[in-house]
Amino acid sequence: MDITTGKVRSALVVGGGVAGPVTAMALQQAGIAATIYEAYDGPADEVGGGMGLAPNGFEAFDAIGVGDAIRAVSTPMNGIVLQSWNGRRLATFGTLPGLDPTRFVMRSELFRTLRQAAEARGITTVHGKRIVDATEDADGVTARFADGTTATADVLIGADGLRSTVRRLIDPSSPAPQFAGTAGFGAMVRDAGVAPTDGMMIMAFGKRCFFAWQVLDDGTGIWFVNLPVPQPLSVNEQREKGGAHWLAHLKQVCEGDATPAAQMLDATDPEAMLFTGSTENMPTNVVWSRGRLVLTGDAAHAPSSSSGQGASLAAESSVELARCLRDLPLPQALARYEELRRPRVERIIKETARTNARKAAGPVARVVRDALLPVMFKMTKPEKNAWQFRYPIDFEAPVG
């Protein structure tokens, strides 16, 4: 800690997903030394699945100079079409004027790119370090890891995801993620046997499940399903039943909907199926900081996984946290960080929780939804949602 200014000089960043490396790089750019401590023994580069990165996320990545590296491993999406079970188009979302398109990236590529960028800047990631406790005093904060080792710095940043341990250390009564009514499945298919979708992702509110797909010009297809389930379904429970079981089940559930689900499920290798467990919403009444401990990314605020905003918001918050720590002494820095970030992330979380409810709709709600959605979308000018996708960050500007 700088004795004259009260500003932090060093940080322990817990978690090596998206928020961890972004925070560490932003801190370095702010003149604060950071080390990343990740629970897993090695890089999580093989973690499967794809994700959309919104233009606001790229503003944060650009602020720390990694935007182009992520653009190089991702592809632009022209937009999203929402349709009903019978193929009726409910709404189309193109790229908003003046905004870059959302880009599609394989999660493994995003993790690899961020990890390599951090490494290239001399930032150390220590693997096999699962935080279990933290103690603080006037001189700093000490993290204790499951292997019995410790590390000390001026501040400890919890970038340890949806099931954050640091969140519990800050507030033992902090809320847990809440089951959102569906379970997730997906896959990438080499030869989908379905017409290319012209850069669009098509999302169908089917009669019994939500099915989304995109087919690239080379025939490669991506699909994912949100299947309404009566109670939480863990990834392990999904795995236990195996890919072949779920492919057959999903085919049955998607039957009768005007989608290419049957062809794409048939073309899927059961071994290559991706299970993502239950969809969950994170309550917003999380305490973000206490003393020298503070949260970023999903640990602080997780919109539902289908929002397409989780990683982007994680990057935004991580960069903003670094700016606050650069410009203000500790208690004020964390207060300003929360003041800058909470209203925006909570507004997005609220919006996306509504979308999840539409996916798990029962027969009556489905009829109402299909009747109302086109009207709602017609009445809502697309520009009205532009606030979500714009978040310019001037890294050098003082946070005030």
Ligand X SMILES: Cc1cc2nc3c(=O)[nH]c(=O)nc-3n(C[C@H](O)[C@H](O)[C@H](O)COP(=O)(O)OP(=O)(O)OC[C@H]3O[C@@H](n4cnc5c(N)ncnc54)[C@H](O)[C@@H]3O)c2cc1C
Taking the complex as a whole, the smallest distance from the CB of residue 19 to ligand X amounts, in Å, to 3
Q: In this structure, are residues 39 and 161 in contact, taking their beta carbons and an 8 Å threshold? A: no
Query: Which residues, other chains included, contact 367 with Cβ-Cβ below 8 Å and sequence gap of 6+?
Result: none
DSSP letter for 169, please.
H
How would you classify residue 277: left for phi > 0, otherwise alpha for psi between -120 and 50, otherwise beta? Answer: left
Q: Which is nearer to ligand X, 7 or 165 (CB)?
A: 165
Q: Check binding of 101 to ligand X (CB under 6 A).
A: no
**AA letter at 138:** A
Taking the complex as a whole, the smallest distance from the CB of residue 400 to ligand X amounts, in Å, to 26
Please report, to the nearest 10 degrees, the dihedral formed by the alpha carbons of residues 75, 206, 377, 303 taken in order: -60
Tokens describing residue 381: 């000018």
Taking the complex as a whole, the smallest distance from the CB of residue 46 to ligand X amounts, in Å, to 12
Q: Check binding of 51 to ligand X (CB under 6 A).
A: yes
How many Cα atoms are found within 13 Å in the side-chain-facing hemisphere of 231? 1
- Beta-bridge partner residues of 359: none
Q: In this structure, are residues 217 and 196 in contact, taking their beta carbons and an 8 Å threshold? A: yes
Q: Which is nearer to ligand X, 60 or 215 (CB)?
A: 60
Choice from 29, 276, 278, 388 touching ligand X (CB under 6 A): 276
Residues from 300 through 359 that contact ligand X (CB under 6 A): 302, 305, 308-312, 314
Q: Check binding of 161 to ligand X (CB under 6 A).
A: yes
DSSP assignments along 338-386, one per residue: HHHHHHHHHHHHHHHHHHHHHHT--HHHHHHHHHHHHHHHHHS-GGGGH
Residue 309: how many CB atoms within 10 A of its CB? 27
Choice from 38, 257, 316, 320 touching ligand X (CB under 6 A): 38
Residues from 104 through 133 that contact ligand X (CB under 6 A): 129-131
Taking the complex as a whole, the smallest distance from the CB of residue 7 to ligand X amounts, in Å, to 24
Nearest residue to 326 via CA among 11, 76, 38, 73: 11
The piece of 48-56, 189-197, 327-335, 388-396 that touches ligand X (CB under 6 A) is 48-56
The piece of 14-22, 203-211, 329-337, 352-360 that touches ligand X (CB under 6 A) is 14-22
Taking the complex as a whole, the smallest distance from the CB of residue 17 to ligand X amounts, in Å, to 2
Q: Which is nearer to ligand X, 54 or 261 (CB)?
A: 54
Q: Check binding of 281 to ligand X (CB under 6 A).
A: no
Q: In this structure, are residues 345 and 317 in contact, taking their beta carbons and an 8 Å threshold? A: yes
Taking the complex as a whole, the smallest distance from the CB of residue 298 to ligand X amounts, in Å, to 4
Q: Check binding of 18 to ligand X (CB under 6 A).
A: yes
Q: Which is nearer to ligand X, 133 or 137 (CB)?
A: 133
Taking the complex as a whole, the smallest distance from the CB of residue 371 to ligand X amounts, in Å, to 28
SS3 35: strand
Residues from 284 through 303 that contact ligand X (CB under 6 A): 297-299, 302
Taking the complex as a whole, the smallest distance from the CB of residue 225 to ligand X amounts, in Å, to 11
Q: Which is nearer to ligand X, 127 or 366 (CB)?
A: 127
Q: Check binding of 20 to ligand X (CB under 6 A).
A: yes
Q: Check binding of 156 to ligand X (CB under 6 A).
A: no
Taking the complex as a whole, the smallest distance from the CB of residue 208 to ligand X amounts, in Å, to 20
Residues from 164 through 183 that contact ligand X (CB under 6 A): 165
Q: Check binding of 206 to ligand X (CB under 6 A).
A: no
Q: How many whole angstroms separate alpha carbon 328 and alpha carbon 331?
A: 8
How many Cα atoms are found within 13 Å in the side-chain-facing hemisphere of 352? 25
Terminal Cα-to-Cα distance of the chain (whole angstroms): 20
Q: 89-118 burial string, b = 16+ CB within 10 Å, else e?
A: ebbebebbeeebbbbbbbbbbbbbbbbebb
Give the interface with ligand X as residue ranges (CB under 6 A).
Answer: 14-20, 37-40, 44, 51-53, 129-131, 159-161, 165, 184, 276, 297-299, 302, 305, 308-312, 314
